[in-house]
Amino acid sequence: MSQEHRPPGRQTAKTPASDSAFLRACRREDVPHTPVWFMRQAGRSLPEYLKAREGVPMLESCMRPELVKEITLQPVRRHGVDAAIYFSDIVVPLKAIGVDLDIKPGVGPVIAEPVRTRADLDRLRPLTPDDVRYVTEAVGLLTDELGATPLIGFAGAPFTLASYLIEGGPSRTYERTKAMMYGDPELWADLVDRLAVITGAFLRVQIEAGASAVQLFDSWAGALAPEDYRRYVLPASAKVFAEVAPYGVPRIHFGVGTGELLGLMGEAGADLAGVDWRVPLDEAARRVGPGKALQGNLDPTVLFAPRPAVEEKARAVLDAAAGLEGHIFNLGHGVMPSTDPDALTRLVEFVHERSAR
């Protein structure tokens, strides 16, 4: 962290959200009920989202503070979740430093000129708060409105961002990404290090503006074998967590298909581990190691089943988490766009009722 950027001692700062069930669970303190929020709780499952987004391209919607505020608040109003997540996308900071990219409907992020050489890497400059003034503004609007409900800031982790930059868009196999990782480890290390600096700066902007917690999405890290994760990815993610550690806000670390990586991800330094649905939470806690709260982990496709089946599966998640210090109920990955929003509202009620202390 640079000298000019000393955190304003937020570790001890009391905010209206400090005593929320979400932040208490992050700190592994007693809670009145298990807090719950959903990855991708804002978005296409909500008709009010589709209406708000009408005629506004995805990336542009992320740069309009009033619209960001409205979309972020929609699931809080509708479902009564215990936390809001800032509406944005993991590629927003890359766009902000001048990477030519777009988010294509039905596809995802698409990069005009993929990063494959040292000269391409040199185009990735550091991010300053001035590059993302709309984020500072929107977080301010949100924290005013949210009061005691915490706001989670987020960013993409270096590996997941690198995969989009190198492949040029979504991938299932990460062939070019792995080709660079194994074929030019020095270029790879410089790329993920640079992304760690950008990501750290982007998270700092959100925290300084008032976010109460941050989540690092390493969504696609599950594509890696543990030894490759340790060697090629862990140092960059650890750098991001170290960068925001002085603020004292809870740091969540999430990836999909990362059952075999949970121990190593634990070493990267976050306060909470986000777990997908493939590993039961009691087993995940053993793998992550002591001193961390867990977040997860209902399979998002369970929400397409009838209500009794959803409740049985949700109960199993709560039961597996019963012996943990600190559990935040979530899905094992994001809400799928065709999910019935009423099923999500009922799930929030169920988790709150079932876990009431």
Active centre residues (catalytic): 40, 44, 53, 89, 164
Q: How far is the CB of 86 from ligand 1CP (least distance, A)?
A: 7
Among 24, 33, 44, 231, binds ligand 1CP (CB under 6 A): 44
Q: How far is the CB of 11 from ligand 1CP (least distance, A)?
A: 26
Q: Which residue number, 90 or 264, has a Cβ lying nearer to ligand 1CP?
A: 90
Q: Where are the beta strands (DSSP E) in 8-124?
A: 84-85, 101-104, 108-111
Q: Which residue number, 316 or 336, has a Cβ lying nearer to ligand 1CP?
A: 336
Neighbouring C-alpha atoms within 13 Å toward the C-beta of 238? 13
- Please report which helix (H) or strand (E) contains residue 175, including its range: helix 175-183
Lay out the site mask for ligand 1CP across 159-178 (x = CB under 6 A, - = otherwise). Answer: -x---------x--------
> Which of 247, 353, 272 lies closest to 25, judged by CA?
272
The answer to whether residue 39 forms part of the interface with ligand 1CP (CB under 6 A) is yes
Q: Which residue number, 47 or 289, has a Cβ lying nearer to ligand 1CP?
A: 47
Task: Kindly give, in sequence order, each residue whose CB lies less than 8 Å from that of residue 300, ignoring residues fewer than 6 positions away.
Answer: 277, 331, 332, 333, 334, 335, 336, 339
Lay out the site mask for ligand 1CP across 181-220 (x = CB under 6 A, - = otherwise). Answer: ------------------------------------x-x-
Q: Label residues 181-210 b or e (16+ Cβ within 10 Å = b).
A: beeeeebbeebbebbbbbbbbbbbbbbbbb
- Please report which helix (H) or strand (E) contains residue 139, including its range: helix 133-146
Q: Which residue number, 104 or 125, has a Cβ lying nearer to ligand 1CP?
A: 104
Q: Does the N-terminal peptide bond of residue 330 adopt cis geometry, omega within 30 degrees of 0? A: no
The total of other beta-carbon atoms located within 10 Å of residue 35's CB is 27
Stretch that binds ligand 1CP, among 82-90, 133-141, 234-242, 259-267 (CB under 6 A): 82-90
The answer to whether residue 89 forms part of the interface with ligand 1CP (CB under 6 A) is yes
The span from the CA of 284 to the CA of 227, in Å, is 19
The span from the CA of 240 to the CA of 150, in Å, is 21
The answer to whether residue 108 forms part of the interface with ligand 1CP (CB under 6 A) is yes
Q: Which residue is nearest to ligand 1CP (CB)?
A: 108
Q: How many residues bind ligand 1CP (CB under 6 A)?
A: 21
Q: Which residues ranging from 116 to 155 are in contact with ligand 1CP (CB under 6 A)? A: 154
The span from the CA of 241 to the CA of 199, in Å, is 10
Rule CB under 6 A: which residues touch ligand 1CP?
39-44, 58, 85, 87, 89-90, 103, 105, 108-109, 154, 160, 170, 217, 219, 334
